[in-house]
């Protein structure tokens, strides 16, 4: 058998053909270029979407994009710059008090650093408020927006103010003014006022009486202020209402300082007609400006609407309260509520540890403590009064020496801890003076947990309003109108059912309570335990301190629970910057 060789193939492989090889290489390169371009286009599209159309905020399904956030930020940047320029112009022209101008410029500068977070939250709350306004018949109109823009472009009324300041003179050892020191300051201010009313020269009296080192040498001249001045709020209110060249009378400030003021010139509010044009020159269209101002307009309309409802004539109750603030320490098995009165050497608790034991100041402190202890043993009801007037513990004297619940983990000084955690102590028991590095303490064991149980034990003792007030003074943690001022027998003042002075739960309990009798116990989770005494009920319009509280707090108290009903989403990265 013979073999035959296979005939050779005459076909050339695809890759061996130079022409075809070049064609394939060019095709592959072209495809790679196309793929790269496609990738670039996709990346650019994704980036553009992220920068412009990606959601920044969602409120109940309504989406505001990154473009919306950029638009709001641009308007805010313009407004910050506009207000800064206004402030500098007023300062340079002598029409703004330098302290006010510096403070406002500093505040505006800080807003620049948080521009994105500021704008994000404006978009969020603005969207909620626009929706709430529409739902409650307060829909924002073009006229509302125009009014808000005009308000922003209007410089508030300016008043040229003069002041006489009389601060209480305190000892170095105790910087907190005593009642006697306050009385002396008030008397001095009243003397200055009498001299003014008698026709005395303002500048001369200011230089003689005023304790303000900045304005006294120049006759009390403050310069121009507006309603937003950083001066004491009560003093500003008096000045903005004062007739020209008429002393305001003696005004006691929240800082305990007494002031007399006068106004010698008034510059009426002035509207800048170029405001919108300046915004347009900054690259902001009139449409974008209006869109941004709708949020501020919604806030204003809702605020006015809520406040007007709360200020309407309605049943009001004059209420007293015993309030025991919730404390995590209450669950500790060693917990006990205590109050104390401290007598320190030289009346200086902070430096007591530096006073040698042989110093007579220690004996003087002990003598005071022994005398107070003897007085309290004879009449325990004096504890609150003595604590508020005599204690050298500046942190607790304002609330009658109450320290709340203390436990063995509270870090008490050892001698104090040994005294309060001794076995067999009874509620109400007053301990003999205890010496620590701070001085001599007179300690009263108030009661053991729980507050709920203790409130129940107080009910049978509240047989009259006077009895309730005494119980509030000795047991309540309240120090304001919201919880009842213990120093004034737990007085909450007048409270309405829908005045937003207190929570809905507390208001409902107050209006469920009998008039002229103690209420049942109310336990508000996370807040505390309450007892109420309703002294009287009247249908009336809120006034005085109640009206001030409503005007200040009604809208925020109404808005917070309404906002909580909305489903809100913010871009996590932006939200982190807004809260961090």
Task: Report the C-alpha gap between 135 and 298 in whole angstroms.
Answer: 12
Beta bridge partners of 443: 340, 431
Predicted pLDDT at 1: 44
Q: Are the beta carbons of 338 and 444 closer than 8 angstroms?
A: yes
Q: Are the beta carbons of 195 and 208 closer than 8 angstroms?
A: no
* Same fold for the pair 314-325+453-540 and 336-448: yes
Task: Report the C-alpha gap between 559 and 467 in whole angstroms.
Answer: 38
Tokens 């080192």 identify what position? 213
List, for the chain, all residue ranges whose pLDDT scores fall below the cut of 70: 1-30, 32-52, 172-174, 577-580
Angle between helices 115-135 and 544-563 (to 10 degrees): 100
Q: With residue 193 as reference, give the H or E element that holds it.
A: helix 179-197
Task: Report the C-alpha gap between 403 and 413 in whole angstroms.
Answer: 14
3.10.50.40, 3.30.1330.10, 1.10.3720.10, 3.40.50.300: CATH of 336-448: 3.10.50.40
CA 118 to chain centre: 18
**Topology adopted by domain 314-325+453-540:** Chitinase A; domain 3 (3.10.50)
Beta bridge partners of 442: 341
Task: Report the C-alpha gap between 189 and 196 in whole angstroms.
Answer: 11
Residue 492, token pair as written in the block: 């909450």
Task: Report the C-alpha gap between 380 and 519 in whole angstroms.
Answer: 26
Q: With residue 105 as reference, give the H or E element that holds it.
A: helix 98-113
Q: Are the beta carbons of 499 and 274 closer than 8 angstroms?
A: no
Predicted pLDDT at 48: 41
Coil, strand, or helix at residue 248?
Answer: coil
Integer angstrom CA distances of residue 351 from 43, 177, 570: 67, 18, 51
**Topology adopted by domain 158-268:** Chitinase A; domain 3 (3.10.50)
DSSP state letters, 282-328: TT--HHHHHHHHHHHHHHHHHHHHHHHHHTSSEEEEEEEEEEEE--G
| Spans of all domains in the chain | 18-53, 62-156+272-307, 158-268, 314-325+453-540, 336-448
> What is the pairing mode between strands 336-343 and 62-65?
unpaired
Residue 536, token pair as written in the block: 């009287």
Question: Angle CA(183)–CA(187)–CA(190) in degrees, nearest 5?
Answer: 140
Residue 218, token pair as written in the block: 């120049």
Q: Which residues contact 379 (CB under 8 A, 6 or more apart)?
A: none
- Other CB atoms within a 10 A radius of the CB of residue 284 amount to 19
């Amino acid at each position: 058998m013979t073999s035959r060789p296979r005939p050779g193939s005459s076909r050339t492989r695809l890759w061996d053909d130079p022409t075809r090889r070049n064609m394939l290489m060019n095709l592959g390169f072209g495809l790679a270029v196309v793929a790269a371009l496609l990738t670039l286009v996709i990346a650019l599209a994704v980036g553009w979407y992220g920068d412009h159309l990606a959601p920044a905020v969602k409120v109940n399904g309504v989406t505001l994009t990154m473009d919306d956030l950029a638009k709001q930020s641009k308007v805010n940047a313009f407004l910050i710059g506009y207000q800064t320029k206004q402030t500098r112009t007023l300062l340079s022209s002598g029409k703004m008090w330098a302290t006010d101008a510096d403070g406002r410029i500093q505040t505006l500068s800080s807003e620049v650093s948080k521009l994105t977070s500021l704008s994000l939250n404006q978009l969020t709350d603005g969207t909620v408020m626009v929706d709430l306004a529409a739902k409650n018949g307060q829909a924002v109109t073009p006229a509302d927006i125009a009014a808000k823009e005009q308000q922003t472009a209007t410089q508030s009324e300016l008043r040229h103010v003069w002041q006489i300041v009389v601060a209480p003179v305190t000892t170095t050892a105790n910087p907190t003014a005593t009642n006697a020191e306050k009385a002396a300051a008030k008397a001095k201010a009243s003397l200055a006022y009498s001299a003014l009313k008698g026709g005395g020269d303002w500048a001369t009296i200011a230089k003689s009486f005023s304790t303000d080192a900045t304005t006294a040498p120049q006759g009390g001249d403050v310069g121009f202020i507006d309603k937003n001045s950083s001066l004491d709020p009560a003093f500003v209110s008096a000045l903005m209402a004062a007739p020209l060249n008429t002393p305001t009378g003696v005004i006691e400030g929240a800082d305990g300082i007494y002031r007399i003021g006068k106004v010698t010139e008034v510059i009426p509010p002035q509207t800048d007609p170029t405001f919108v044009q300046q915004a347009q020159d900054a690259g902001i269209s009139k449409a974008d400006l209006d869109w941004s101002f709708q949020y501020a307009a919604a806030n204003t309309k809702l605020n006015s609407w809520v406040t007007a409802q709360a200020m309407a004539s309605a049943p009001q109750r004059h209420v007293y309260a015993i309030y025991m603030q919730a404390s995590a320490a209450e669950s500790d098995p060693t917990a006990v509520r205590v109050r104390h009165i401290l007598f320190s050497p030289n009346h200086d608790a902070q430096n007591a540890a530096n006073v040698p034991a042989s110093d007579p100041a220690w004996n003087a402190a002990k003598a005071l403590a022994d005398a107070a202890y003897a007085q309290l043993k004879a009449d325990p009801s004096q504890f609150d009064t003595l604590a508020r007037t005599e204690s050298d513990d500046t942190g607790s004297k304002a609330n009658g020496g109450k320290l709340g619940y203390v436990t063995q983990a509270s870090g008490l000084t050892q001698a104090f801890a040994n005294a309060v955690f001794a076995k067999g102590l009874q509620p109400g028991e007053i301990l003999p003076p205890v010496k620590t590095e701070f001085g001599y303490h007179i300690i009263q064991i108030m009661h053991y947990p729980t507050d709920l149980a203790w409130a129940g034990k107080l009910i049978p003792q509240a047989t009259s309003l006077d009895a309730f007030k005494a119980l509030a003074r000795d047991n309540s943690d309240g120090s304001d109108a919201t919880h009842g001022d213990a120093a004034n027998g737990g007085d909450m003042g007048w409270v309405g059912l829908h005045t937003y002075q207190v929570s809905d739960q507390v208001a409902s309990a107050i209006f469920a309570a009998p008039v002229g009798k103690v209420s049942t116990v109310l336990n508000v989770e996370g807040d505390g335990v309450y007892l109420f005494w309703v002294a009287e009920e009247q249908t009336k319009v809120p006034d005085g301190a109640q009206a001030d509280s409503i005007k200040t707090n009604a809208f925020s108290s109404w808005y917070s629970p309404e906002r909580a009903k909305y489903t809100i989403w913010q871009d996590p990265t932006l939200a982190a910057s807004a809260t961090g």
